[in-house]
Chain A
Amino acid sequence: DGGITQSPKYLFRKEGQNVTLSCEQNLNHDAMYWYRQDPGQGLRLIYYSQIVNDFQKGDIAEGYSVSREKKESFPLTVTSAQKNPTAFYLCASREFYRGGPPNSPLHFGNGTRLTVT
Chain B
Amino acid sequence: AQTVTQSQPEMSVQEAETVTLSCTYDTSESNYYLFWYKQPPSRQMILVIRQEAYKQQNATENRFSVNFQKAAKSFSLKISDSQLGDTAMYFCAFMSTQGGSEKLVFGKGTKLTVNP
Contact = CB atoms under 8 A, between A and B. Distances in A.
Interface residues of B, number: 26
A40 to B, nearest CB: 6
A64 to B, nearest CB: 15
B33 interface: yes
Interface stretch (A13-21, A65-73, A77-85, A101-109): A101-109
Interface residues of A, number: 26
B103 interface: yes
Given A31-B102, A43-B106, A106 B43 contact: no
Contact of B50 (A33, A35, A103, A108): A103
Contacts of B102: 31, 50, 96, 102
Contacts of B47: 105-106
Contact of A102 (B37, B97, B107): B97
Nearest to B89: A42
Q: Which 4 A-B pairs have the closest CB atoms?
A: A108-B45, A42-B108, A43-B106, A102-B102
Interface of B: 6, 9, 32-33, 35, 37, 42-45, 47, 50, 52, 91, 95, 97, 100-109
